[in-house]
Amino acid sequence: MAATRPFAPSDADLSRCVHCGLCLQHCPTYTETGLETESPRGRLYLIRAIAEERIEPTPGALAHLDLCLQCRNCEAVCPSGVPYGRIMESARAGVLAGGRAPLAWRLRALFLRQVIARPGRMAALAAILRLYRASGLRAPAERLPFLGERLLLAPTVSGRPFRGRGVLAQPRGPACRQARRVGLLTGCIMPYAFGRVHEATVRVLARNGFEVVAPPGQGCCGALHAHAGDRAAAQALARRNVDALLDAGIDAVVLNSAGCGSTMKEYGELLADDGEYAAKAERLAGLVRDVSELLAALPFEPPGGRVEATVTYQDACHLAHAQRIKDAPRSILAAVPGLRLVEMEQADRCCGSAGIYSLAHREMSLALLDAKMRAIAATGAEVIAAANPGCMAQLEAGLRRHRMRGRVVHVVELLDQAYRQAERGGS
Ligand code: SF4
Ligand code: SF4
């Protein structure tokens, strides 16, 4: 059994907070509630008090930790470099491992372990969601009192699931002389809810000179497990991916899911005390790239086709705040001829998705979603571009909830659309 680090935030991390409060206005739960207990600073106080056993981890105290979206906006703006994401994950892990977690936390961890991390069960869940979508019941069900708002946030499963393994595409186009080999992390939910995004990603990468493979043996990245405090499950999933991806002879691991990319870039930290895996995890983490990050650094082949659309871009929290990538997706959108990018107000404010947060904290999630949809409506955009499946599902729910016209796409899909349009037009 591999060694693991203690499940508690470190004193060194906690003591970095100087209580300046500069993060408060950037925290969605604080700006929604106006409560210090729902702010980063308040939560840090609380975590410290629990860690020092000055207060008990009562359900009331833990509810404040649970309402945190883990969007890491506070971390991105903190002048003291407080590693808030790491602290919150460790705090939740400490509570869960200490046996004091509320029933809802334990059920969530059980669901993540027993369903999300298991491909067979995930496929069965996706089949149920696909049937629900195809039955025509969704629209009337979402209008039902009480139940409707809950059903609204279930992800849309339609289209062909992405089942690619092994070599997915050979390099082609003018850039194929670069001939680098990249591995696509296909993930747990993405293949069912957004298989089309994987397909677009593969085409775009091939077009930019990459051989694209999906190494067998890979699986869920463990992000949801880590966020929920189930560090042991996240570590087990990370080890599996380290084995599968490091053996694949790839130059980079490419992700089109910001949450997965953020967690995989932190695999070194997640497995730091594992004697067998620490160095390998660090090495794999160094290979991880968001697809927009990889393309923007090339530079990518300018698309010859046009996408005539007004587009607004929603920053995914785990891309903008955790990975600090804001320019790369915008540079891709700006390169697409015909595309008019209109920035929304507070594009980097969480949309309320936050993994499975939208299911656990419906009220807060919907309040953030409603604010987001108002900001989107003000842009007049008919296309919402995003870089994370959770955001995409949430924004699609927002369009339905607000009876708004429009579509939600991944950034890479727009680039793909422009490439394909040029191919069809022979340019
Ligand atoms: S987390 Fe950072 S920004 Fe927020 S109060 Fe502490 S030191 Fe200030
Ligand atoms: S992670 Fe997001 S929700 Fe949580 S305290 Fe920081 S800014 Fe607020």
- Residues 245 and 259: their CA atoms lie apart, in Å, by 18
Beta-bridge partners for 214 = 166
Of all protein residues, the one whose alpha carbon is nearest to atom 6 of ligand 2 is 74
Q: Is 42 in the pocket of ligand 1 (CB under 6 A)?
A: no
Give backbone dihedrals phi and psi of 89, rounded to 5 degrees, phi first. Answer: -60, -40
User: Which pLDDT score is estimated for 5?
Assistant: 40
**DSSP-derived pairing of the beta strands 288-290 and 252-255:** parallel
CA 68 to centroid of ligand 2, rounded, Å? 5
Q: Is 71 in the pocket of ligand 2 (CB under 6 A)?
A: yes
Of all protein residues, the one whose alpha carbon is nearest to atom 2 of ligand 1 is 78
List the one residue out of 154, 161, 153 whose CA is nearest residue 194.
Answer: 161
Instruction: Report the nearest atom of ligand 1 relative to the CA of 80.
Output: 7
Of all protein residues, the one whose alpha carbon is nearest to atom 8 of ligand 2 is 27
Of all protein residues, the one whose alpha carbon is nearest to atom 6 of ligand 1 is 17
Instruction: Report the nearest atom of ligand 1 relative to the CA of 77.
Output: 3
CA 9 to centroid of ligand 2, rounded, Å? 16
User: Which pLDDT score is estimated for 20?
Assistant: 97
CA 403 to centroid of ligand 2, rounded, Å? 29
Q: Is 27 in the pocket of ligand 1 (CB under 6 A)?
A: no
CA 39 to centroid of ligand 2, rounded, Å? 7
The list of the chain residues with pLDDT below 50 reads 1-6, 177, 427
CA 28 to centroid of ligand 2, rounded, Å? 7
- Residues 381 and 313: their CA atoms lie apart, in Å, by 9
Residue-wise pLDDT for 8-51, tens only, equals 899 999 999 999 999 999 999 999 999 999 999 999 999 999 98
Instruction: Return the structure tokens found at 360.
Output: 């656990």
DSSP string, 363-424: HHHHHHHHHHHHHHHHHT-SEEEES-HHHHHHHHHHHHHTT---EEEEHHHHHHHHHHHHHH
- Residues 113 and 206: their CA atoms lie apart, in Å, by 34
User: Which pLDDT score is estimated for 174?
Assistant: 66
Mutate to test the pocket of ligand 2, among 69, 77, 361 (most ligand atoms within 8 A of CB): 69
Of all protein residues, the one whose alpha carbon is nearest to atom 4 of ligand 1 is 23
CA distances from 236 to 121, 125, 287, 309 (A): 18, 22, 19, 43
How long a stretch of residues is the chain?
427
H helices, E strands: number in the chain: 24, 9
Of all protein residues, the one whose alpha carbon is nearest to atom 1 of ligand 1 is 17
Residue-wise pLDDT for 378-400, tens only, equals 999 999 999 999 999 999 999 99
Instruction: Report the nearest atom of ligand 1 relative to the CA of 84.
Output: 1
User: Which pLDDT score is estimated for 244?
Assistant: 96
Q: Decide: pTM greater than 0.75.
A: yes
CB contact set of 45 (below 8 Å; sequence gap of 6+):
none
By three-state DSSP, how is residue 5 classified? Answer: coil
User: Which pLDDT score is estimated for 3?
Assistant: 35
Q: Taking phi first (over 0 means left), then psi (-120 to 50 degrees means alpha), and beta for anything else, what does residue 383 get? A: beta
Instruction: Report the nearest atom of ligand 1 relative to the CA of 81.
Output: 2
